Amino acid sequence: MPLQLRSDLTALTGYHSPQVAADVRLNTNESPYPPPPGFFEALQRALHEMPLHRYPDRHTVRLREAIAHHEGVPPASVFPANGSNEIIQTLLLAFGGPGRTACVFTPSYTMHTHIAQTVLTPVVEVKRRADFLVGGDLVAATVAKLAPSIMFFCHPNNPTGLAEDEPAVRAALDLDDMLVVVDEAYGEFLGTSWAQEAVRRENLAVCRTFSKAWGIPALRLGYLLGSPAWTGLLDQVHLPYHLNAFSQVAGMLSFDFVDEMRARVATLTSERDRLYDALAARSDLTVWPSLSNFLLFRPVCDAETLWRGLLEHGILVRNFASRPGIENCLRVTVGTPAENSRFLSALAAVLSAVKPATAKPGFDVSSPDSLGSSAVCDEQL
């Protein structure tokens, strides 16, 4: 008999972002620009000197110091790992588990839910308000009803694009015995951060990544910022030598190219605004404002049809046609100016060819206010 997956995992569907071949890939929120040539040269030199026959620095001392310097926090507040996904997994291994519920406000980054489930942490999903924010009242109601041990925020939120509202995060932080996780994967585009607060508070974990603005998702590197009162506890659960020497060095060298990173962010931000204006000017779709490097939009026509039409023009965007809370939506990552222009002309071509009459019944496509109520839903997923 073939091996059977752990029974509680069979209903999980994995990470749904099909890696379909396409000329223009605007589906996974990567930077369209690699780091500058100087970064590759420095990395090559470092590789030549790397003692590959030895295990890497188990405590990632030099990388922690470099991150601490960049963030203006003490090194003991920093924990680097293989992308922010490993940070989230490590946090859940240490502070989640059976009997400790994690709460996520949907729609949001589905990996928070997925990783929690794989490490046997019960998850409750609570719908965001119609404006996609959470708000202090919903946090209070959720805590009163469900008493979670861990609460996830995403600042700015993927896939909706806006910053988390401060009253919601503050309401969560005021509950001293609940761990509050703020995922800042797109923090470089936003400009505000909970990082300094994470060092002062004893219940806040901020996750950041090199996968988006820094442009090195291939190297799998992210870091956590939190209070030295508990960051050392993570050593109980991560694998020994969890972070390879090459990634450690790549992270350190990245900080020699901060200006180039900021220039990429500036270009992408102005391209995002150009894309937003072009989408907002159309009457056949609704687009949400964004403080990140992607835009969520809902066409009047069937989103699945539009998604396929764009793919036929060589353009791959993220398909959320059947994602609860953002039904019939697509998400486009900001690319290079040429890629964005190609996206806009393909969009215009496909939309003029499809009939708006193909709109699905069952929801009102006319306004963002049609996104369901903010009632607490306490299904166990």
Ligand X SMILES: *Cc1c(COP(=O)(O)O)cnc(C)c1O
* Contacting residues toward ligand X, per CB under 6 A: 29, 83-85, 109, 154, 158, 183, 185, 209, 211-212, 217, 222
Based on CB atoms, which residue is closest to ligand X, 331 or 342?
331
CB of 112 to ligand X, least distance (A): 8
- According to DSSP H, which parts of the chain are helical? 37-48, 61-71, 83-95, 110-118, 136-146, 166-173, 187-190, 195-200, 245-254, 258-280, 303-312, 337-353
CB of 207 to ligand X, least distance (A): 7
CB of 183 to ligand X, least distance (A): 5
The residues near 311 (Cβ < 8 Å, ≥ 6 apart) are: 20, 22
CB of 212 to ligand X, least distance (A): 6
At 262, give phi and psi (nearest 5°).
-65, -35
Which residue of this chain has its Cβ atom nearest to ligand X in the complex? 83
The residues near 44 (Cβ < 8 Å, ≥ 6 apart) are: none
Based on CB atoms, which residue is closest to ligand X, 223 or 300?
223
At 22, give phi and psi (nearest 5°).
-155, 150
Based on CB atoms, which residue is closest to ligand X, 298 or 318?
318
Based on CB atoms, which residue is closest to ligand X, 154 or 334?
154
Based on CB atoms, which residue is closest to ligand X, 67 or 350?
67
Q: What is the residue whose two structure tokens read 């993220």?
A: 318
Cα–Cα nearest to 181, from 202, 203, 164, 199: 203
Here the tokens at position 37 are 């040539």
CB of 113 to ligand X, least distance (A): 12
Strand 123-127 to 315-320 pairing: unpaired
